[in-house]
Chains A and B, each alone.
Chain A
């Protein structure tokens, strides 16, 4: 999506690697192209994340009536926690970090960390509008989706 915020990381990656498999490879390729994809039903338009059968009706074999399509990349803050403990050594420089549930405008919940200057003040402080920030890791060849509060 044009105008989306992008962070290019030059830090060596010392954390667990993303799991990219047959089912989510198009999603991860979308992130590399700075597009946030959701799995959408072409029969009724319902959106899913991660990939799943549409619940609203019967589906074509191997979900051929569904496809990854670009979403708005925006949503609202549903709930979050603030990690004060680095369970893995790679996160020692990150704590405290906010790990949040984002309710996409298209419906599904996704989870990721919040970045940016605007941070919720406590766990009761939810419902803010958020948008995706693409964090490129060119040396490793993947892009992570972070979110930031925009209102």
Chain B
């Protein structure tokens, strides 16, 4: 990451944080995909899904 990229990222996350929006970096999503491909993720229980793991899209959603 160049100094300019870093400055822009800081400006962006702080601006969004002050608005109340949490914008996570892409590396967490990439880590999630890597762990999924490696079969390292445990099954996720979801109250919306009665049987089996939730679909990948739902599992990737963040909650707060």
**Same complex:** no
